[in-house]
Amino acid sequence: MKYAKEISRRRTFAIISHPDAGKTTLTEKFLLFGGAIQTAGAVKSNKIKKHATSDFMEIERQRGISVATSVMTFEYKNFLINLLDTPGHKDFAEDTYRTLTAVDSVVLVVDSVNGVEEQTRRLMEVCRMRNTPVIVFINKMDRDGKNRFDLLEEIEKELKIQLHPMTWPINNGKDFKGVYNLDAKSLLLFTANTKATEEDSFIIENLNEKILDEKIGEKDAETLREDVELIDGVYGKLKTEDYLAGKTAPVFFGSAINNFGVKELLDTFIKIAPEPQDRETTKRVVDVDEDKLSGFVFKIHANLDPRHRDRIAFIRICSGRFERNTYYHHVRLNKDFRFSNPYSFLARSKDIIEDAYPGDVVGLFDTGNFKIGDTLTEGEDFYFTGIPSFSPEIFKELVNKDPMKTKQLEKGIAQLTDEGVAQLFTQFGGNKKIIGCVGELQFEVIQYRLLHEYGAACEFRVLPFYKACWLTSNDEKKLDDFLRFKQQNSARDKDEHPVYLAQSEWFLNTEITNNPDIQFQFTSEIHK
C-alpha cells in the first residue's frame, strides 16, 4: 500500500462513440474544465477551422475525424485524470478496442438526433466483455432529436444495459431550456451560444416551488414535475456498486459544443468512477497495490512530431512506481531498458515526467523495441492478457511503386503495422506482403503516411480473401502439411503465427470440417 494515496486520486477512462456524436468536442470541454487548454478547437462539417486539440495527424485535420487514439492528462479538483480520446470511425475500431484494455471506465457519447448507431453497439460489446463501467452522455440536446423517454428505451434495448438518469432535460431543439440535476436537486438553465456558468444554476429542493414556473414557464414546469416523479419511482437512487460492475450506466443530458451539462458529468465521474484496478496476466493477477512496477504497451505511434522521426510507445502502468532513468525488464526481448525522457501528454504537447503510478499512461521514446502487448516489469516474466487482435475484413497486396525505395517501404510498413494501424501477413513460401484492414480508410492512411513520413510510394491490389483465421494444433505435422498444401491461402503474421486466408465462408467451413485437428480462430489474443 506504499502508493495508495497516488492511486486513489487517479482516474483513467476513454471517451467512445459513433463518428460525429461529439466525442472530440466533449474531450475538449473536459480539458477546459481541467485548465489544460484555454480555448477549444472546433470541428465543423468536416472542415476544420481550428483543429481539435486531440486530432494531431495531418490526415485527421484534412478529414475532420479522429483516426488515432490521443492520450491526455489533466487535473480536476485534485484528481489526476488520464483521458483517452478514441477514433469513432469504424475503420479504426481495432485501435479503440485495444485502448479499452488500458482504461478502468468509459464515457459513451450518444447523439440525441441519431440515437444508437452501429459503432455504438460494437463498442458496447467490447465494454461488456470486460464489464467496464460506463457513463452515458446524451449530446446535442439543443437540436431537434428523439423524445427523451424513447431515447432511454432505445439505448437500454440496443446496448443491453440498464440506465439511470442523473440529469433530466427540459425539452430539446430550439425549445431546449436546460437540465434538472436529479441528484443535486438543482436547475441549470440553457441559453444558446453561451457557456453555462454557476449563475445559471439554481438549487430547487422542492419542484413545487413557484420559482420553477418563473424560470421555465408553467407548462414546462408541470411536465418536469411529472417526469421527475416518474423517474424517482422507476429508478430511485443510483447504486454505485451496480455502476462499477458494469450493470447500470448513469445518464447525463447536455450539449458539448455549448459546454452545457458537462460539468455535472465530470463532477459525478470523479465521485463514482473506479480507481485503477487489479489486472490479469499469463501467470497471476497483478495487484494494483504491489510495490514492484509492471505495465503494458497498448498503443504505438510513429512520427508524432513530423519534424523528428520519433516513435512513441504508450504504456499503461498497472502496479508500482515508474521512475525516469531506472532500468526495467522488457519481458519479450529479455533485456533491460531505461528511459531518460518518459512523457505525459496533452495531445501534441509532451511533458517529461519524473515518475508515474498505476492508472497513468506514459509515452516512451522507442527505437523499434516495442510491439503492442509488450510488458515491462522489475524482473518477473509475464504478459497482461486480454489485448485483442481481430480478423481483418479487407485484404490487399502491398505493391512497391519505386524499387529504389524498397528499404523505406519495408521499414515504414513494419512500423505502421507495429502501431496496429493494420495487420501484415507474409504469404507462406513467398515474399508477397498482404495488408489486412477493417475498413478502406485505413489503406488511405497507410498510403498517405508511407509517402509523407517514409518517402515510399505504394499501391494496393485487392485480394479475394474473406477472413483471416489464426491456426493452432497439437499435431505439428498436420499443421505443417495443411500450410504446405494450401500455400496460396496460407501466411504468417508479424509474430510468425500461421494464418489461413479463406476465400469465402464456404471454403472456410469446408476446411474447418476437413481438418478437425486444427483450430481456426478469428481473434488472436496478443498474449495468451
pLDDT of residue 481: 93
pLDDT of residue 98: 80
Torsion of the alpha carbons at 487, 492, 498 and 502, rounded to the nearest 10: -60
For residue range 463-472, list pLDDT tens digits in order.
999 999 999 9
pLDDT of residue 310: 66
Q: How far apart are CA 156 and CA 153, in angstroms?
A: 5
- Give the HSE-up count for residue 196: Cα atoms under 13 Å, Cβ half-sphere: 23
Sign of CA dihedral 406, 314, 26, 278: positive
Q: Which residues of 33-42 are buried (b: 16+ CB within 10 A; e: fewer)?
A: bbebbeebbe
Exposed / middle / buried, residue 122 (Cβ in 10 Å: 0-12, 13-18, 19+): middle
Residue pair 469/502 in contact (Cβ under 8 Å)? The answer is yes
CATH superfamily name and code, 279-377: P-loop containing nucleotide triphosphate hydrolases (3.40.50.300)
Sign of CA dihedral 409, 415, 419, 422: positive
Q: Show the cell assigned to 391.
A: 480478423
pLDDT of residue 195: 55
Would you say how long the chain is, in residues?
528
| Ranges of CATH 3.40.50.300 domains, the chain | 5-9+11-174+236-272, 279-377
Helices (H) and strands (E) in the chain, counts: 14, 35
| Ranges of CATH 3.30.70.3280 domains, the chain | 391-525
473: closest CA among 463, 483, 465, 464? 483
pLDDT of residue 198: 52
pLDDT of residue 320: 95
Q: Which own/partner pairs from 211-214 qualify as long-range (CB within 8 Å, at least 24 positions apart)?
A: 212/187
Torsion of the alpha carbons at 295, 279, 93 and 432, rounded to the nearest 10: 60
- Second CATH level (architecture) for the domain 391-525: 2-Layer Sandwich (3.30)
Residues with pLDDT less than 70, the chain:
1, 36-70, 87-94, 192-201, 302-310, 345-350, 388, 525-528
pLDDT of residue 200: 57
Residues forming a β-bridge with 108: 16, 136
436: closest CA among 389, 475, 474, 388? 389
For residue range 139-173, list pLDDT tens digits in order.
999 899 888 999 999 999 999 999 999 999 998 88
Q: How far apart are CA 72 and CA 99, in angstroms?
A: 13
pLDDT of residue 45: 31
Residue pair 119/66 in contact (Cβ under 8 Å)? The answer is no
Torsion of the alpha carbons at 466, 450, 46 and 422, rounded to the nearest 10: 30
pLDDT of residue 527: 56
SS3 199: helix
pLDDT of residue 525: 65
Model-level pTM?
A: 0.79
Q: Show the cell assigned to 296.
A: 503494458
Residue pair 394/501 in contact (Cβ under 8 Å)? The answer is no
- Give the HSE-up count for residue 256: Cα atoms under 13 Å, Cβ half-sphere: 28
Which numeric CATH code is attached to 5-9+11-174+236-272? 3.40.50.300
Could you tell me how far CA 35 lies from the centroid of its own chain? Answer: 23
For residue range 171-193, list pLDDT tens digits in order.
888 888 889 888 888 888 887 65
